[in-house]
Structure 1
Amino acid sequence: MRSLTRDNRFAFFTASALFVVTMALSIITESYYLMAIPFAALLFQTGWSSFSLIFFLLITSIPFSAETQVTESLGTDLPDEPLMLLVTLLFFFHVLNNTKAFFKMIWHPLIWLILLSFCWAAIASMFSTQPVFSAKFLLAKTWYISAFLAGFILVSSRKDALKITAVILAVSMLICTMIILIRHAMLDLSFADINIAVSPFFRNHVNYSALLVCTIPIWYGCWKLSSSKRRNVISIIIVVLLIALFLSYARGAWLALIVAVITGWLLMRKMILRSLLIVALLATIMIGWLIKEDNYLRFAPDHNTTIFHEDFSEHLVATYELKDLSAAERFYRWIAGVRMIPDHWLSGFGPGTFYNNYKPYAVPAFQTWVSDNEERSTVHNYFLLTTVEPGIPGLAIFLLLVGAVFYYAQFLYHRIKDPLYRTASFVAALIFSMILTLNLLSDLIETDKIGSLFFLCIAALVIIDKKTEKSQSLS
């Protein structure tokens, strides 16, 4: 008891000294962010004792994190990005402490494809047109993979890790959605003010609707696994979320929900892989036709009539008539992206470099009022972005990963008898299909809200496969 008291005293005085020193330094240097150091040390100590606690805290923070400009040149998402770094650091320490068990757990084809994709991005970075931007991209990708893929696998030693992670994310987003709905109602639920309502948690209504729609399959999974009494409550929650989704005024998220329903139907009938091949073939034919004889020029917008509409009904009509500003700007960047590919088809322009390279390749006929791109956003199609930045091999690896994810989701769904794991594999497939649909019109895999879900879905399938393969072989 005496040694325990002595240890506690040492820890207390060490923590107190750290707090006083960092506070003094922050005041003297006027660098007030230094005051976060003792709290980071406390979180690290907590994470070392209970890694799952910090991981679940990270999951909780995803919907509530806001983009923050630390300096003129440095921005971050608070609080989830510092938590990602902490989870990454803790992950490496835990792996060093128990290397054999972890590497046995990650011995899986989906993990190999993720690592292959990362390795190719590293190779492409060596030939990057902007090495500094590519290095930053690789660093960010490292803690996304470590925090959400490897971190989730690490906490999966807990039997209930899948369920807890899913419920925490769904409930956190539900609370965030209710806050946004109330704020939006105070603004008369108008389309023009939706971006004000979602701030500061989300950059815009597109990011908000993306995370919102991706949590609906989780609630469906909860409904499927619940008793009749709980099903009534969950049904009400799903209805509220669907209303919120409609009021987000995001066409991409609506489309993602429809695609998820179709994906679920295809998965149950073991038709998902052949459907993917058909979609890929149709996309190739369509792109080939647009490129042939410059057919894409037929869709050039009228610069004067292609504007942003504050009325949503006018916005939908403009979309149908190809006079919507956001759609026209997407065409402008997609064309530039396609024209970039032949110049650096093997290693690409380098990860994270699209913005610095695309404007000389743009076609003036598709230029819009927002083509100055002051927010420095990218091509708004992740498949095209993957082709432009790490090259055609990068796209090929990504497509292999997509096919493998759907293969395992379908395989596990039909192999497993356990209701929890069977439902979890189904939900992971639905969310993954939503993410891919959203990324046809955006580049959200590199963001904290959707990038986290991308790796969580893959980790979930790895965990389910590992957890059920022994019981399956015994049966």
Structure 2
Amino acid sequence: MPQKAVIRIALFYLISIGFIFLNLWFVVEKHMLYANVLPLVFAVLLLAVYSFDKVIYLIAFLAPLSIPLREYLPGIGFDMYIPTEPLLFGLLLLFILKVIQERQFDRKILLHPVSLAVYLNLFWILITSVTSTMPMVSFKFLLMRIWFVVGLYLLTAKIFKDGKNMEKYVWLYVIPLMLVIFYSTYRHLGYGLWDKQAAHFVVSPFYRDHTSYGAATAIYIPFLVMFILSKTYSKNVRLLAAGALAVVTLGFLLSYSRAAWLSIIVAFGVWTIIKLRIRFKPLFITVVSVLVLFFTFQSQIVMKLEQNSEESSANIMTHISSISNISSDASNMERINRWSCAVRMFADKPVVGFGPGTYMFKYARYQLSKDRTIISTNSADGGNAHSEYLGPMAESGVLGLATYLLIIILVIYTAVSTYTRLSDYRLRSIVLAALIGLVTYYIHGFLNNFLDTDKISVPFWGFTAMIVAIDILSRKQEMDTEQKQD
């Protein structure tokens, strides 16, 4: 046996024995029972070094099942989702080390227009973290956004670059999501399925509340529908997708999330526009006309909305109609209160804002007594701006909103142009499903904000990575075809 092989084997056994004795010392001598997870940590570390794609799949699978650290350690000064966010942080460190060592990464992914828009957004978050009124909070927010982008966008786009693994990524989230749906539905049964108030807490500790749970179910429905309708998948896969769609739809309905329900309706409208190939010009004219009419008659519209006294209810039709109740529905009124605070904060600091992640600590003094509701609070545990658009505007100024909107615009443009260019039916279907799934969250983002959680970041950045990867692949295929013809 070669000497190098003998040395490697000896080192392997030496390190393994040392690790076992270290673990025994922690458990027996120090009574640190949680040291039993060290072998698992070591295994994940090896997996990350030799096969980072498996770690990404693991994160996608664990995201619906992850639990906030405060559930384990109440009163701790910071919070993160366990075990997904430590895994993402580890991936970030590994990514930095690999780039330093190899001095390269896939340039087509790095320099894609969507990627450039993401960097611009991160750069502005960095600038506004420096100028933040609470720098520690803002830099923590920046670090968290970076590990989401690196792990769930850049590295995930790399494992999608050959047009493979995308269905696996979807299923790895959907399967544990169904487990959460079974769990929450079982708990919901104890209160009665039509008890809307129970929907707020039966998803705990896996989801923050019923709205994030509703957003997660909505974002995956387009993919499950695509699996059923697409003939590129086997009969067994389509049957599995039909069963999964039934379960996810159950969770979607029992979430009692009006924002999620509204997002699906709008997403269906976008799907119809794409399928009917309605041209951009008449669509743009229609949207502008609607906006002009709204601002022209905004006083009359607001008066009409104030006449709606329907409040959120277990009755589905009443619950839907309560969406426009801005006079007595506490949830709607509190959103308006938070949005008004965000606008006032923006007016005070329109250029750099108060700093990323600071809204919840700073909005209290911007509440007006006439806007406060029975669920208003001055404390930092009262949630955020309830908007993926107004939140960045208040926290990072006008460019905070503009750079986020730029990401969305470029993703939609890339998806639509790729969809129309592709001839591969499977990839066309994936691009469309990913876009419609993202649209559900783009719409949901007007009413809530969850991009600071793994629950929504996994599909949000993962579906964006799918669109970018397929766009790059389709352009490469076009070039190869042109070269063959020449």
TM class, shorter-length? 0.7 to 0.9
Q: Which moved more, 1:9-18 or 1:32-41?
A: 32-41
Amino acid at match of 2:123: C
Is contact 2:339–2:387 with CA below 8 Å preserved after alignment?
yes
What is the aligned partner in structure 1 of residue 97 from structure 2? 93
Matches of 1:148 and 1:195 in 2, distance apart?
28
Amino acid at match of 2:426: L
Matches of 2:377 and 2:113 in 1, distance apart?
42
Is contact 1:306–1:328 with CA below 8 Å preserved after alignment?
no
Give the share of equivalent positions with the same residue, in percent.
Answer: 23
What is the aligned partner in structure 2 of residue 73 from structure 1? 77
What is the aligned partner in structure 2 of residue 135 from structure 1? 139
Matches of 1:418 and 1:404 in 2, distance apart?
22
**CA positional deviation for 1:258:** 1.0
What is the aligned partner in structure 1 of residue 212 from structure 2? 207
**CA positional deviation for 1:471:** 1.2
Gap change, CA 1:51 and 1:333, over 3 Å in 2: same
Q: Of residues 401, 408, 411 in structure 1, which corresponds to 2:414?
A: 408
What is the aligned partner in structure 2 of residue 346 from structure 1? 351
Q: Does the alignment pair 1:418 with 2:424?
A: yes
Q: Does the alignment pair 1:369 with 2:374?
A: yes
Q: Does the alignment pair 1:337 with 2:342?
A: yes
Is contact 2:415–2:471 with CA below 8 Å preserved after alignment?
no
**CA positional deviation for 1:316:** 5.4
Gap change, CA 1:11 and 1:387, over 3 Å in 2: same
Q: Of residues 81, 84, 87 in structure 2, which corresponds to 1:83?
A: 87
Amino acid at match of 2:18: A
Is contact 1:348–1:389 with CA below 8 Å preserved after alignment?
yes
Matches of 2:86 and 2:80 in 1, distance apart?
8
After superposition, the C-alpha distances for 1:380-431 in whole angstroms (9 at most, x for unaligned) are 0111111111110121122222111111111000101112221111011101
Is contact 1:334–1:381 with CA below 8 Å preserved after alignment?
yes
What's the secondary structure of 2:65's corresponding residue?
Answer: coil
Is contact 1:191–1:312 with CA below 8 Å preserved after alignment?
no
Amino acid at match of 2:41: A
Gap change, CA 1:161 and 1:321, over 3 Å in 2: closer
Is contact 1:325–1:368 with CA below 8 Å preserved after alignment?
yes
Aligned length: 470
**CA positional deviation for 1:227:** 3.9
Matches of 1:431 and 1:400 in 2, distance apart?
18
Amino acid at match of 1:163: E
What is the aligned partner in structure 2 of residue 120 from structure 1? 124
**TM-score computed with the length of structure 1 as normaliser:** 0.88
What is the aligned partner in structure 1 of residue 404 from structure 2? 398
Matches of 1:138 and 1:328 in 2, distance apart?
30
Matches within 5 A, 1:33-432: 36-69=37-70, 70=73, 72-156=76-160, 160-189=164-193, 190-223=195-228, 224=230, 225-228=232-235, 230-271=237-278, 275=283, 279=287, 319-322=323-326, 323-372=328-377, 374=379, 375-432=381-438
Gap change, CA 1:378 and 1:100, over 3 Å in 2: same
**CA positional deviation for 1:117:** 0.5
What's the secondary structure of 2:166's corresponding residue?
Answer: helix
Matches of 1:284 and 1:12 in 2, distance apart?
73
Gaps (5+ residues) in structure 2?
482-486
Gaps (5+ residues) in structure 1?
none
Give the superposed CA RMSD: 3.3
What's the secondary structure of 1:197's corresponding residue?
Answer: coil
Q: Which moved more, 1:234-243 or 1:433-442?
A: 234-243
Amino acid at match of 1:333: R
Gap change, CA 1:43 and 1:335, over 3 Å in 2: same
Q: Of residues 411, 430, 433 in structure 1, which corresponds to 2:439?
A: 433
Matches of 1:297 and 1:334 in 2, distance apart?
19
Q: Of residues 468, 475, 478 in structure 2, which corresponds to 1:472?
A: 478
What's the secondary structure of 2:80's corresponding residue?
Answer: strand
Matches of 2:53 and 2:320 in 1, distance apart?
45
Matches of 2:152 and 2:476 in 1, distance apart?
25
Amino acid at match of 2:452: E
**TM-score computed with the length of structure 2 as normaliser:** 0.86
What's the secondary structure of 1:100's corresponding residue?
Answer: coil
**CA positional deviation for 1:185:** 3.2
Is contact 1:428–1:461 with CA below 8 Å preserved after alignment?
yes
Is contact 2:159–2:165 with CA below 8 Å preserved after alignment?
yes
Q: Does the alignment pair 1:446 with 2:452?
A: yes
What's the secondary structure of 1:389's corresponding residue?
Answer: helix
Matches of 1:464 and 1:378 in 2, distance apart?
34
Is contact 1:198–1:205 with CA below 8 Å preserved after alignment?
yes
Gap change, CA 1:321 and 1:438, over 3 Å in 2: closer
What's the secondary structure of 1:364's corresponding residue?
Answer: coil
After superposition, the C-alpha distances for 1:225-250 in whole angstroms (9 at most, x for unaligned) are 32456434433432332233212211
What's the secondary structure of 1:13's corresponding residue?
Answer: helix
Q: Which moved more, 1:109-118 or 1:324-333?
A: 324-333
Matches of 2:472 and 2:166 in 1, distance apart?
13
**CA positional deviation for 1:5:** 5.6
**CA positional deviation for 1:140:** 0.5
Matches of 2:214 and 2:350 in 1, distance apart?
34
**CA positional deviation for 1:87:** 2.2
Is contact 1:129–1:349 with CA below 8 Å preserved after alignment?
yes
